[in-house]
Amino acid sequence: MAEKNPFFQSKEVKEFTKKIEQYHLGPLWEAIPDLMHKEPRPEAVPYLWKGETIRKLLLEATQIFTPERGGERRAIYLQNPGLKQRQPWGWASTTNTLYAAVQLILPGETAPSHRHTQNAMRFITDGKGAYSIVQGERLFMEEGDFLITPGGLWHGHSHPGEGPMFWMDCLDIPFIYATGGTFFEPYPDGIEPPSLPDDYSARKYRGGMVRPIGDRKPQVAPLGLYKWKQTEAALEGLSDFEPDPYDGIAVEYINPSNGQTANPNIGAWMQKLPVGYHSKAHRHTYSAIYHVFKGEGYTVINGIRFNWTKGDYFVIPNWAWHEHVNTSKEDALLFCANDLPIMEKLRLQREEAYPNNNGYQSVVGEFEAEVVRS
Amino acid sequence: MAEKNPFFQSKEVKEFTKKIEQYHLGPLWEAIPDLMHKEPRPEAVPYLWKGETIRKLLLEATQIFTPERGGERRAIYLQNPGLKQRQPWGWASTTNTLYAAVQLILPGETAPSHRHTQNAMRFITDGKGAYSIVQGERLFMEEGDFLITPGGLWHGHSHPGEGPMFWMDCLDIPFIYATGGTFFEPYPDGIEPPSLPDDYSARKYRGGMVRPIGDRKPQVAPLGLYKWKQTEAALEGLSDFEPDPYDGIAVEYINPSNGQTANPNIGAWMQKLPVGYHSKAHRHTYSAIYHVFKGEGYTVINGIRFNWTKGDYFVIPNWAWHEHVNTSKEDALLFCANDLPIMEKLRLQREEAYPNNNGYQSVVGEFEAEVVRS
Amino acid sequence: MAEKNPFFQSKEVKEFTKKIEQYHLGPLWEAIPDLMHKEPRPEAVPYLWKGETIRKLLLEATQIFTPERGGERRAIYLQNPGLKQRQPWGWASTTNTLYAAVQLILPGETAPSHRHTQNAMRFITDGKGAYSIVQGERLFMEEGDFLITPGGLWHGHSHPGEGPMFWMDCLDIPFIYATGGTFFEPYPDGIEPPSLPDDYSARKYRGGMVRPIGDRKPQVAPLGLYKWKQTEAALEGLSDFEPDPYDGIAVEYINPSNGQTANPNIGAWMQKLPVGYHSKAHRHTYSAIYHVFKGEGYTVINGIRFNWTKGDYFVIPNWAWHEHVNTSKEDALLFCANDLPIMEKLRLQREEAYPNNNGYQSVVGEFEAEVVRS
Amino acid sequence: MAEKNPFFQSKEVKEFTKKIEQYHLGPLWEAIPDLMHKEPRPEAVPYLWKGETIRKLLLEATQIFTPERGGERRAIYLQNPGLKQRQPWGWASTTNTLYAAVQLILPGETAPSHRHTQNAMRFITDGKGAYSIVQGERLFMEEGDFLITPGGLWHGHSHPGEGPMFWMDCLDIPFIYATGGTFFEPYPDGIEPPSLPDDYSARKYRGGMVRPIGDRKPQVAPLGLYKWKQTEAALEGLSDFEPDPYDGIAVEYINPSNGQTANPNIGAWMQKLPVGYHSKAHRHTYSAIYHVFKGEGYTVINGIRFNWTKGDYFVIPNWAWHEHVNTSKEDALLFCANDLPIMEKLRLQREEAYPNNNGYQSVVGEFEAEVVRS
């Protein structure tokens, strides 16, 4: 069914097709080849954005987008070139199901609270001192921290501290959009005021695999803030062991009330690639967005080499072959956000090891990143 | 966030937007109003197709699409007018997540086996004597029967009996497409041969809420064929009780191994509207596709009256107000396929009763169905 | 650890044991051999009670236990000879976890409503016309019907019809007793009055694997009465297929809201042994209580032959080898109540096929049933 | 049903009872009052054992129970005085469902590996340097550590370090015994040899609520050793917040793969009672065994005061009123093992606040602990 039947190009068929379309009816035989591929053919393509470019543009945006002029969040999102035509108004997400952006907040600024059916996460890449307030709990953020706001929770941001703060946002906007299930509600009056002790959940859960006994019932987000210090300790604990052949040493953020991913639809983990690490290649149904948190190296995606360095973002579309290489003299750290929970929930997850060449792809080209011209 | 900030239309902003788009970056403030609605604004619109029209066109198609000319299934699908521009190649599904079609098979014809990650169901509207073969089990079909082939199961069709057979197909093609998780595989050699007794699962489960003890483990489709006679008995059993204010007397097809919907992503049920029944209006996040199996009446969707009679198909998009009325002198029967399981799995399901006018909409117009001109 | 260390019989050890027992302390080495067997050594033994005996005694009891003299239920329970010393007051259950009894209700009698944490089931063996009222729903009973009242539900019985009615009761009394979690509460005022239509749930669910859409949420007992006619149809549906090598043709009563056993802790099914059927032998962790609903035959339990005929009851303790044989000229029907759900919940279920003699036990003796001397 | 009907004491009834007992049948009306209490009446009673006593006796036992003389574990178990007659051979567990013991291992000693269907846990009270080997992973233990070996896992112990080591064992022996589902198997050859890196799971999980991505599937014991340092940090994290009115500041050990209790049937947590803390009284269906890890104070159980100090053990039976008081000048730490998961799984868990006297019991007596006479 992958190839079109030449008969379907005949005049007779075309006329019949035209006829039935008057009645808002379509011929299945015409549509099937576009819809039923042998394997995933996502419109999203592999791509890499330079962190430096995004950073410069965001700083430039501070001159234009001031809080007085409105606009709730000062964020620039990553448009996958393959997805530009997907929605009628030219909007493009980062992978088929996920949207990613980089947000900048300056000291003294506030992003008012709202809630929506989309699930959201934040990974803090630069700065400290701002907080997110989630359901009345202020969560103070610093580099390396991971935060979640699953669908339905009130959240806003404010920066009472010093210096600019940048973070990565990731939401399942395109996925929820596709279902037709979007609901959005602004908080009645600016930013929600605190109603819980600061960093309440992070402090409650800082002991690892023990849980306050008041939190025994499954909840959507018993823990909102995953501190970098703990993620670092986890990676350290694993460092003597053999790294995974595909993902190095990797730890995933989990919901302590059910052992599932921290966010219902967005998986997230931190991967450490030890010095000299060169993974084998594989592919999987889920798509992934990477942020380079430390070090430099490259990732080969479908035969093309994508060089990366601290601050960059890159995309691995569904079912694309990929392998990671650390070329630094130190461990590299890659933060990964992905739609694995969606694929698991829908029984779509599959994975394959690259079958040739001892598990390594042949590199047939190199991606040239676009750097800001200024 | 529902309205655009006029400042975002300024020259300064437009230039900045243009500038960053060179780097495949987009301004969040621009995209948000299109993506984050206060409540669902599906592109799908309410619509109704006359059964007679579809039937005539399908019979006409038998002259063009013969098995020798290829084409796996002779089916015409329902294109929602609001979704026509959704995919670049002009394909349109029936609701945002679901695709529905009407299929015709003639005596002596065979539709070869295949399997795919999409979930599928069939509701038999006319004729008998054909079978679907699902994972080696031939399921003989007749009017009113309901069949499922959840993602991953081999299935093909053949018609060794007499007379044309028509059925409704419904698949979650657009939803799976949106995830990027499509896999499709043709059966190596035409139609799969039988490897189980005919109607095996239907006969195993014909006693109601008792289950063969060999089937204790949760399975994706322990029962593949739900016979009309049993559905009818269930509706009969409920007929003395008060009908539901919104859906009359309704029974849902379930998976006997886990008590969930028969199909993982597609809900399906049969609704009986007693003589004189006029439901109250409500709306819900999930979308629904209806087939009129018996009787005549009308449904008011967002204030527009859609008259229906046996054989017709109509669509209720996400979050649209709707109420059903039976104007026949007999009970009316509506078969409903919907994406309720998707909404439940993703925590998106919400429901509201129509708050005004004692629960009934004001009718502000009437839909005029297009009838085939031949 | 199966055998006792002779050293533990020494004077030195005995004195030490005696010494520490003053402080309510015990030596682990002494207790372990009794507690930690290589495999289950239940105190329950295989046993068979003649239906005729129980029936006669129950009829005799009607002269003594009249409603005026009090006593909530006129029932005689099956005391497993191996369990007689288990509880200090000499009470004995039927298997280690289950209690079974035969209850008789006469026309005009009423058993007041109560509720408790134990789970209960009833299988109707003789008569018709009485009802159980469960949470306000009167369930009218006849031969072959199966009823459940999971823990926490109000239930009482009354007999407005004709002729005596007998049924089998089975509860998880010893199991709940062992946990220390017994709660019991009498209904404030005799028998609960009806608040739902009669046979409400049985009629709602009579269509097989379709469910009223109002019943979508998992519930503890959406269906309270499983009519014999449906069980019979289910067995009929399976009759052309190969019977299970151990249990013939068997169908299990399920909860339509979750696909699990109808009762949370007590499994129940009906087994049909076709004419000439002789099962292979196996054993499993769970224990079972059988009632012979139709036909005659025998069951070999741990090498002893237990002959049975319509109306009898017999017990298969945990981990006992057993095989069933139908010696009638018609199909035999065995109703089975068991603690399989307990074993599954606690990860204790194991099963083994008899490894010798082509799967059949050597019969080394025959059980002689005690018949009432009157 | 709480009181016996005097008629049941009549000669007529007694004769009938005697008659039917010949046939191994019992009268329900006789048994019910003993089995169906209004609320839990566990045979277990509140009790307290002095740590000093147990310690002295265990050290004395080292003279008698040497490894050469056999005996797999040198442990003394806590016999609840109320349960002494429960089993025919005089064995007594600590609560109705749980068994607790104190084990002593000396340098150079080894307890061979075995596995069984019972679930086990260890809490390390004194010493360090020994290890448990669980499924090939050596887990090195020190004071305050918590270890689990759920049913089915191989485990043995060895002490290559210095000084005696004491720990608390808790198993669900009586509960599994009651089901008839005991299986036990010695390791073929002494203690299992290591096949994984030492402390593998503890190091893998030391980062708190992040999990190695290789451990995504639910497992029975992905983490075997919960280090004291992490439990301490968790308690510290919670110390600024309001303590629970009944249990102070408490953190529960969890299974990171499903968010449930670390052990399937045995709950375990550490409670910190701040200086001056006096809890309110409540009662719950589940029973609990406490070890005093630090500090001194008392617990009022059903009106009796039980004074405790570091090293002691005490029991709160099902449904007993209790409140805890810290009388130290430092925080007190109580380790709690309980059968809450059993009660939750079986839908038996209930809880009540003490309704009188502003939530505090009247103390009507004081328990006098038995101290070893030597």
B81-121 pLDDT, tens digit each? 999 866 555 678 999 999 999 999 999 999 999 999 999 99
Query: Of C25, C22, C27, C34, whose CA–CA distance to C10 is shortest?
Result: C27
Given a cut of 50, whether residue B169 has pLDDT beyond it is yes
In order of their start, the domains of chain C are 41-366 (2.60.120.10)
**pLDDT for the residue D10:** 83
**Could you report the per-residue pLDDT of C138-186, keeping only the tens digit for each?**
999 999 999 999 999 999 999 999 999 999 999 999 999 999 999 999 9
What is the secondary structure of D101-164 as a DSSP string?
A: EEEEE-TT-EEEEEEESS-EEEEEEE-EEEEEEETTEEEEEETT-EEEE-TT--EEEE--SSS-
Q: Do chains D and A touch (3 or more CB pairs under 8 A)?
A: yes
Question: CA-to-CA distance for B232 and B335, rounded, in angstroms?
Answer: 12
Cα D208 to its chain centre, rounded Å, is 25
Judging contacts by C-beta atoms under 8 Å, the chain C residues touching residue B203 are 237-238, 240-241
Among C residues 351-370, those touching chain D with beta carbons less than 8 Å apart: 370
**Could you report the per-residue pLDDT of B4-17, keeping only the tens digit for each?**
567 777 888 889 98
Answer with the residue of higher pLDDT: B151 or D240.
Answer: B151
**pLDDT for the residue B331:** 97
3-state secondary structure at position B292? strand
Question: CA-to-CA distance for B361 and B282, rounded, in angstroms?
Answer: 9
Judging contacts by C-beta atoms under 8 Å, the chain D residues touching residue C87 are 34
**pLDDT for the residue D1:** 40
Given a cut of 80, whether residue C373 has pLDDT beyond it is no
Question: CA-to-CA distance for A23 and D149, rounded, in angstroms?
Answer: 66
Which letter, b or e, does each residue of D70-94 get, where b requires 16 or more Cβ atoms within 10 Å of its Cβ? ebbbbbbbbbbebbeebbeeebbbb
Question: CA-to-CA distance for C64 and D88, rounded, in angstroms?
Answer: 34
Least confident stretch, B238-242, C169-173, C359-363: B238-242
Query: What values do phi and psi take at B339, rounded to 5?
Result: -110, 30
**Could you report the per-residue pLDDT of A70-85, keeping only the tens digit for each?**
667 899 999 999 998 6
Least confident stretch, A201-210, A321-330, D343-352: A201-210
Answer with the residue of higher pLDDT: D192 or A4.
Answer: D192
Query: What values do phi and psi take at A358, rounded to 5?
Result: 60, 25
Query: Of D95, D56, D65, whose CA–CA distance to D79 is shortest?
Result: D95
**pLDDT for the residue A213:** 77
What is the secondary structure of A147-171 as a DSSP string?
A: EEE-TT--EEEE--SSS-EEEEEEE
Q: CA B176 → CA B97, C88, C242, D64, distances in Å? A: 8, 63, 39, 70
Amino acid at D192: E
Evaluate whether A160 touches A132 at the Cβ level (below 8 Å). no
**pLDDT for the residue C172:** 96
Determine contact: C254 vs chain B, CB below 8 A. yes
Judging contacts by C-beta atoms under 8 Å, the chain B residues touching residue C223 are 209
Answer with the residue of higher pLDDT: D22 or B36.
Answer: D22
**Could you report the per-residue pLDDT of A164-184, keeping only the tens digit for each?**
999 999 999 999 999 999 999
Q: Which residue has the tokens 């139908």?
A: C326
Which letter, b or e, does each residue of A285-314 get, where b requires 16 or more Cβ atoms within 10 Å of its Cβ? bbbbbbbbbbbbbbbbbbebebbbbbbbbb
**Contact between chains at D250 and A212 (C-beta distance less than 8 A):** yes
Determine contact: A242 vs chain D, CB below 8 A. no
**pLDDT for the residue B89:** 55
**pLDDT for the residue B5:** 67
**Least CB–CB distance from A213: residue in D206, D216, D252:** D252
Question: CA-to-CA distance for A151 and A117, rounded, in angstroms?
Answer: 4
Q: Which two tokens stand for residue C63?
A: 């002269």
**pLDDT for the residue C176:** 95
Compute the C-alpha angle C267/C268/C269, nearest 5°: 135
Amino acid at D7: F
Judging contacts by C-beta atoms under 8 Å, the chain D residues touching residue C19 are 57
Tally of CB atoms within 10 A around B364: 10
Walk across the sheet containing A110-116 and list its strands: A137-142, A128-134, A155-158, A110-116, A184-186
**pLDDT for the residue B215:** 80
**pLDDT for the residue A47:** 98
Handedness of CA B59, B64, B65, B67 (dihedral sign): positive
Query: Of C216, C104, C222, C109, whose CA–CA distance to C169 is shortest?
Result: C104
Average pLDDT for chain A? 92
**Could you report the per-residue pLDDT of C179-231, keeping only the tens digit for each?**
999 999 999 989 999 999 999 888 888 877 778 877 878 899 899 999 999 99
Among A residues 171-190, those touching chain D with beta carbons less than 8 Å apart: none
Determine contact: D241 vs chain C, CB below 8 A. no
CB pairs under 8 A between B and C: 163
**Least CB–CB distance from B230: residue in C202, C207, C241:** C207
Given a cut of 60, whether residue C2 has pLDDT beyond it is no
Question: CA-to-CA distance for A338 and A315, rounded, in angstroms?
Answer: 10
**Least CB–CB distance from B24: residue in A79, A177, A220:** A79
Amino acid at D210: V
Among D residues 73-132, those touching chain C with beta carbons less than 8 Å apart: 73-81, 85-89, 91-92, 95-97, 101, 103, 114, 116-118
Mean pLDDT of all residues in B48-63: 95
Evaluate whether B104 touches A50 at the Cβ level (below 8 Å). no
Evaluate whether D298 touches D273 at the Cβ level (below 8 Å). no
Query: What values do phi and psi take at A154, rounded to 5?
Result: -65, 140
**pLDDT for the residue A85:** 66
**Least CB–CB distance from B12: residue in A42, A64, A265:** A64
**Least CB–CB distance from B25: residue in A57, A180, A342:** A57
Given a cut of 70, whether residue B77 has pLDDT beyond it is yes
Q: Which residue has the tokens 């989309």?
A: A118
3-state secondary structure at position A176? helix
**Contact between chains at A86 and B85 (C-beta distance less than 8 A):** no
**pLDDT for the residue A90:** 62
**Could you report the per-residue pLDDT of C237-249, keeping only the tens digit for each?**
888 888 999 999 9
**Contact between chains at C350 and D16 (C-beta distance less than 8 A):** no
Min Cα distance B83 → chain C (Å) is 29
Q: Note the residue count of chain D.
A: 374
**pLDDT for the residue D90:** 62
> Which pLDDT band, with edges at 50, 70 and 90, does A241 fall under?
confident
Among B residues 43-62, those touching chain A with beta carbons less than 8 Å apart: 44, 47, 49, 53-54, 57, 60-61
> Which pLDDT band, with edges at 50, 70 and 90, does A224 fall under?
very high
Min Cα distance C270 → chain B (Å) is 9
Task: Show the low-confidence residues of chain D (pLDDT under 50).
Answer: 1-2
Mean pLDDT of all residues in C16-43: 86
Mutate to test the interface with C, among B209, B219, B231, B241 (most CBs of C within 10 A): B209
Q: Do chains D and B touch (3 or more CB pairs under 8 A)?
A: no
**pLDDT for the residue B355:** 97
**Contact between chains at C197 and B240 (C-beta distance less than 8 A):** yes
**pLDDT for the residue A187:** 95
**Contact between chains at B24 and A47 (C-beta distance less than 8 A):** yes
Question: CA-to-CA distance for B41 and D314, rounded, in angstroms?
Answer: 62
Given a cut of 80, whether residue A326 has pLDDT beyond it is yes
**pLDDT for the residue C69:** 66
Mean pLDDT of all residues in A182-205: 92
**Helix residue ranges, H only, A182-227:** 200-204
Evaluate whether C120 touches C149 at the Cβ level (below 8 Å). yes
User: Partners for C (CB, 8 Å, 3+ pairs)?
Assistant: B, D
> Which pLDDT band, with edges at 50, 70 and 90, does A35 fall under?
confident
Evaluate whether B33 touches B2 at the Cβ level (below 8 Å). yes
Determine contact: C210 vs chain B, CB below 8 A. yes
Given a cut of 60, whether residue A374 has pLDDT beyond it is no
| Phi-psi domain of A127 (left: phi exceeds 0; alpha: psi -120 through 50; beta: other) | left
Q: Which two tokens stand for residue C11?
A: 């004077």
Given a cut of 50, whether residue B2 has pLDDT beyond it is no
**Contact between chains at C42 and D178 (C-beta distance less than 8 A):** no
